[in-house]
Amino acid sequence: MSTSGRTNRVPALARLIVVVVLGAWLLWQIFTVSFAAVAARSTDPRLLTVFGTPQHPQAGAALAQARLVGKDHQAARQLAHAVIMADPTNDRALRVLGLATEAGGDRRQALAIMQQAGRLGWRDTPTQQWLLQRAILTDDFTGVVEHADALARRNRGGEMVRGLFLAAVAEPRLRGALADRLAQQPMWRGAFFADVRQRLPEALAEPMAGLFKDLQDRRSVIAPTEWMSYIDRLAELGQFARARRTWATAFGVSTQQLAGVPYDPAFRAASARAADAPTSQFEWSLNANLEGTVTFGDDEGRPGLTIPTGVSGGAALASQTIMLSPGTHELTARIDGSPETAAAGWTLTCLPAQVALPRRLKRGSNDELSSVIFEVPSANCTAQRLALVARDQFDAQPATVRSVTIR
């Protein structure tokens, strides 16, 4: 073999060696990074011991946390500090460092570290829980809502955070911070108003009105469904007068419109209302199960309450919550059609007692529609539910209520 042949093979061999070495190094890097990622998600102490180093920050932070759980605060602190030096944005390592520092007795330094961790990682649940507890203990009202917000945005904290938001309504400074957050339209705003509807305590009924004012002061648009959550809860708590005032103010119902009983006596507002519009119990509402069967207008577009035939007796067709004073009251309705053959009649039920009141039919037993007299008691009858209820009628004919008044 010639000397020149050997000379040509040397560079080729060198290149091959370089490729093999680089390939092996690359495979090793992939191997170590992959196993370090597995170790970071694992609780296996063997993996954490091998890969829990500053060179693999996530696994290192996981090992530091394991050391902290094992009460080895010094080791946890040292490893967490080393990880942070390698990766200053590692919020998990910062949290471990803060908790280990607190366990060592340096509360001031621990607070500074945990606050930094909170700024870096609002998604880190343990950090936000620690900061929330600290804010509660130090009367940091803005901090309380800030960290509760961080937990709520990730659906963490559960009943504690939900209860905290409701409780914040009672304290003016907390309420202001809560209004600031709600004005930013956080994803948990809908859940908050759902809790208002279902869980608002009676003691918070008045302060809740303050929260609505705070939102208005911040020019935050309050959705009709949010108003209804509060209004319906007030009625459920038996605060009918406050509920009715709130409804009238929120939806621009004038004093003149409220003067007559019932509201909207000729069904004009009800017939003009969009089918999907939120409806208060203080205005006419239809039985949702009879949608399309009962309507607030006839085929010619004139306002009125239609009374169909063939609906099972006892089913409410339409209703409205009213507030009559104790004493005798007469309901008079103008009917298109025959009241005697219409398959419906009026009932009045006391609220919150849920007791149906006896009635006198002024125009005979077959007419439960055009003229009915009720006696409202003075006890347990703060408000009343006026309802048009279907009745079984053998020779029933369609009819329409054009207007109804109670005096």
* Every domain of the chain and the residues it spans: 1-121, 137-257, 268-406
Tokens of residue 348, six digits: 């009045």
**Residue 173 above 50 pLDDT?**
yes
Residue 280: partners with Cβ closer than 8 Å, 6 or more residues away: 228, 231, 232, 247, 251
Residue appearing with tokens 């073999």: 1
Tokens of residue 267, six digits: 């069904």
Tokens of residue 37, six digits: 């990622």
Confirm if 350 and 326 have CB atoms less than 8 A apart. no
- Cis check for the bond before 57: say yes or no (omega within 30 of 0): no
Q: Which pLDDT tens digit goes with each residue over 202-214?
A: 999 999 999 999 9
Q: Which pLDDT tens digit goes with each residue over 36-66?
A: 344 344 444 444 444 445 556 677 777 777 7
What's this model's pTM, rounded to 2 decimal places? 0.79
As a whole number, mean pLDDT of residues 321-340 equals 96
Q: Which pLDDT tens digit goes with each residue over 344-364?
A: 999 999 999 999 999 999 998
Q: Which pLDDT tens digit goes with each residue over 94-135?
A: 888 888 888 888 888 888 988 888 888 778 888 899 899 999
pLDDT at 9: 55
Q: Which fold has domain 268-406?
A: Jelly Rolls (2.60.120)
Q: Which fold has domain 1-121?
A: 1.25.40
Is 98 exposed, middle or buried, given 0-12, 13-18 or 19+ CB atoms closer than 10 A? buried
Q: What percent of the chain has pLDDT over 90?
A: 57
Residue 178: partners with Cβ closer than 8 Å, 6 or more residues away: 145, 165, 168, 169, 211
**Residue 27 above 50 pLDDT?**
no
Q: Where are the alpha helices (DSSP H) in 204-337?
A: 205-217, 224-236, 240-250, 255-259, 268-272
The whole-angstrom separation of Cα 173 and Cα 179 is: 10
237 vs 115, residue with greater confidence: 237
pLDDT at 89: 81
The whole-angstrom separation of Cα 277 and Cα 315 is: 23
As a whole number, mean pLDDT of residues 177-204 equals 96
Least confident of 53-62, 84-93, 387-396: 53-62
